């Protein structure tokens, strides 16, 4: 949720009840990505740093670090779009009938002469060499046009 006082209270209940602080920290890492996501890109590094700090110093010293993270995440804007997008990908892969579609040839690595002769990597455009995103197909042919992820910062 987005209520820092309730978040602090439930953190206190868990820690004072003997819950492993590393378990709590792991859950905060998941929450930072699943519930906050791209709405606040600093949430995940905050949660990972919290886990690392708890691992380094342990209880009781890490309780204030956990409290800081809990308040940060409670106050952070929320977005579950990454979670939804990956759920769409999982459903696509799991529900596919027959063999999964092949990787497009131009996306395949070509470390051998034979692979080059077979057309691997032919026509591949290496995006960092261009000033703008390149126009090339990245999805298998039968999935082109599929939108797994539709969120943008202007459309929270």
Question: What pLDDT does residue 150 have?
Answer: 84
Encode pLDDT of 109-130 as tens digits: 999 999 999 999 999 999 999 9
Using an 8 Å Cβ cutoff, are 8 and 71 in contact? yes
Q: Establish if 10 belongs to a structural domain.
A: yes
Q: Establish if 150 belongs to a structural domain.
A: no
Q: What does the alpha-carbon distance between residue 154 and residue 88 come to, in Å, rounded to a whole number?
A: 22
Q: Establish if 37 belongs to a structural domain.
A: yes
Q: Are residues 15 and 70 in the same domain?
A: yes
Q: Are residues 116 and 70 in the same domain?
A: no
Question: What pLDDT does residue 80 have?
Answer: 92
Q: Are residues 54 and 110 in the same domain?
A: no
Encode pLDDT of 71-91 as tens digits: 999 999 999 999 999 999 999
Q: Establish if 94 belongs to a structural domain.
A: no
What sign results for the dihedral spanned by CA atoms 15, 18, 22, 28? negative
Nearest to 72 by CA among 44, 53, 38: 44
Q: Are residues 68 and 107 in the same domain?
A: no
The CATH number covering residue 18 comes to: 1.20.272.10
Q: Establish if 152 belongs to a structural domain.
A: no
Residue 155 has pLDDT above 70, yes or no: no
What sign results for the dihedral spanned by CA atoms 34, 18, 5, 66? negative
- Mean local confidence (pLDDT), 7-25: 98
Q: Are residues 109 and 60 in the same domain?
A: no
For the chain, give the longest Cα–Cα distance.
65
Encode pLDDT of 130-139 as tens digits: 999 999 999 9
Q: Establish if 13 belongs to a structural domain.
A: yes
Q: What does the alpha-carbon distance between residue 14 and residue 66 come to, in Å, rounded to a whole number?
A: 11
Q: Are residues 66 and 112 in the same domain?
A: no
**For the chain, what is the domain count?**
2
Q: Are residues 8 and 67 in the same domain?
A: yes
Domain of 127, in residue numbers: 102-132
Question: What pLDDT does residue 1 have?
Answer: 66
Q: Are residues 108 and 49 in the same domain?
A: no
Q: Establish if 56 belongs to a structural domain.
A: yes
Structure confidence at residue 63 as a pLDDT band (50, 70, 90): very high
Mean pLDDT of the chain: 94
Residue 153 has pLDDT above 90, yes or no: no
Q: Establish if 58 belongs to a structural domain.
A: yes
Q: Are residues 66 and 120 in the same domain?
A: no
Question: What pLDDT does residue 151 have?
Answer: 73
Residue 101 has pLDDT above 60, yes or no: yes
pTM greater than 0.85 (yes/no): no
């Amino acid at each position: 949720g987005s209520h820092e006082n309730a978040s602090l209270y439930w953190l206190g209940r868990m820690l004072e009840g003997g819950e492993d602080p590393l378990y709590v920290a792991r859950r905060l890492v998941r929450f930072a990505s699943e519930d906050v996501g791209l709405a606040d890109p600093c949430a995940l590094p905050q949660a990972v740093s919290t886990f690392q700090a708890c691992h380094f110093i342990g209880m009781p010293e890490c309780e204030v670090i956990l409290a800081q993270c809990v308040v940060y995440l409670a106050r952070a804007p929320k977005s579950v779009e990454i979670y939804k997008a990956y759920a769409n990908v999982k459903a696509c892969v799991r529900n596919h009938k027959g063999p999964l579609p092949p990787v497009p040839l131009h996306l395949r690595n070509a470390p051998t002469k034979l692979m080059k002769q077979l057309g691997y990597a032919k026509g591949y455009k290496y995006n960092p060499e261009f000033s703008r995103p390149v126009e090339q197909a990245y999805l298998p042919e039968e999935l082109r046009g599929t939108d797994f992820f539709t969120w943008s910062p202007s459309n929270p």
